[in-house]
Amino acid sequence: MVAALELYLDVDATRRIRTLWRALDDEGIPSLGSLHQKHRPHVSLAAAHHIDPHAVADALDGVPLGRGLPVEMNFAGQFVGRVLWLGVTVTPELLALHEVVHTRLHERGVEVWEHYRPGRWVPHCTISLRVPNPVMGQAIRRCLEVLPLTATITGAAVADHAKDIHQTL
């Protein structure tokens, strides 16, 4: 199970990513959209097996969580385990937000996976968690068709879909 601190994208970027999800699904490539209907296109700042949404809300009280921050997706990537994603270009503002969030979470004892911590995090928007290896090239080509994609962060939440948790921050 995965819980995450998610940053949500503006309406146009969300529409474009959902269109990509549907195109992949139509080609028999499972997307995050077909996993279940709860996912929204997002960029995760932190993830773990469990994240207490109330502890996160307390730790991040007063942090604007990137609202209004522009982000650009200019490349596609793959993590081990057949995870396909759109890569978010790193900016000083995005890294500063990430650092503040993790400093506050750490101070409040909220633990996250090591690969989401400052210095290790790869900012991305997940497209699929399980692309079959024989069609990975096809899936990447489909992702490249929507790039570049510019978005604005419009909101944030702690989400754990397996536990039906969605706490807006």
pLDDT band at 162 (very low <50, low <70, confident <90, very high): confident
What is d(CA 137, CA 131) in angstroms, rounded to the nearest whole number? Answer: 10
Spell out the residues 6+ positions from residue 81 whose beta carbon is closer than 8 angstroms to its own. 129, 130
> Tens digit of pLDDT for each residue in 99-150?
999 999 999 999 999 999 999 999 999 999 999 999 999 999 999 999 999 9
Structural domain boundaries, residue 21: 3-168
Domain count, the chain: 1
| Range 38-57 average pLDDT | 94
Given a contact cutoff of 8 angstroms between Cβ atoms, the answer to whether 9 and 42 are in contact is: yes
**CATH number (domain holding residue 64):** 3.90.1140.10
Residue 20: what residue type?
L
Q: Are strands 83-88 and 42-48 parallel, antiparallel or unpaired?
A: unpaired
pTM: 0.95
Dmax (CA) of the chain: 46
